[in-house]
């Protein structure tokens, strides 16, 4: 299965989230902009979801694989959406995001390698 477009968008989201979190943690004045930052990150997450949808239309993954990707994206989106909440623990939200996004990146790379693995078996 080809997931390159989804991988690219996920890496872009991951990089943007990391940069935003670093800014929010190091510069208290940036907290005023957290709503805008969160909205932009949610837009990037939507791009990841749309890309996954397009790629799965070409090659239908098993239902469990599709469910895993959607659940991981939902978890990442929850972490992003919680950033602007008063009293939000940014470090905890960062861990939640990374615990969803980083394994998803590895998983998507594995889906791309799947045909090669089948040929060698």
**CB-based burial of residue 104 (10 Å sphere; 0-12 exposed, 13-18 middle, 19+ buried)?**
buried
pLDDT score, position 28 = 77
The model's pTM is 0.89
Supply angle C-alpha 101, 24, 27, rounded to 5: 150
Instruction: Write down the domain spans for the chain.
Output: 4-120
Pick the CATH number of 4-120 from 1.20.120, 1.10.10, 3.30.70, 1.10.287: 1.20.120
Residues 24, 76 contacting (CB under 8 angstroms):
no
User: pLDDT tens, 48-61?
Assistant: 999 999 999 988 87
pLDDT score, position 80 = 98
Supply angle C-alpha 97, 102, 104, rounded to 5: 100
What region does 87 belong to: left with phi over 0, alpha with psi -120 to 50, or beta?
Answer: left
Of 42-46, 65-69, 80-84, 108-112, the least confident:
108-112
pLDDT score, position 117 = 46
Looking from the CA of 98 toward its CB, the CA atoms found within 13 Å total: 10
pLDDT score, position 120 = 47
pLDDT score, position 115 = 58
**Across residues 1-26, what is the average pLDDT?**
94
Pair of tokens at residue 32: 């005023």
């Amino acid at each position: 299965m080809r997931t390159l477009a989804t991988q690219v968008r996920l890496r872009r989201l991951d990089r943007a989230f990391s940069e935003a979190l670093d800014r929010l943690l190091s510069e208290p004045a940036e907290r005023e902009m957290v709503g805008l930052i969160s909205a932009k990150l949610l837009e990037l997450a939507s791009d990841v979801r749309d890309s996954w949808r397009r790629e799965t239309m070409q090659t239908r993954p098993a239902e469990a694989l599709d469910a895993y990707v959607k659940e991981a994206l939902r978890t990442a989106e929850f972490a992003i959406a919680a950033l602007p909440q008063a009293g939000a623990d940014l470090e905890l939200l960062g861990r939640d995001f990374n615990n969803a996004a980083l394994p998803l990146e590895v998983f998507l790379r594995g889906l791309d390698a799947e045909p090669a693995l089948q040929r060698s078996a």
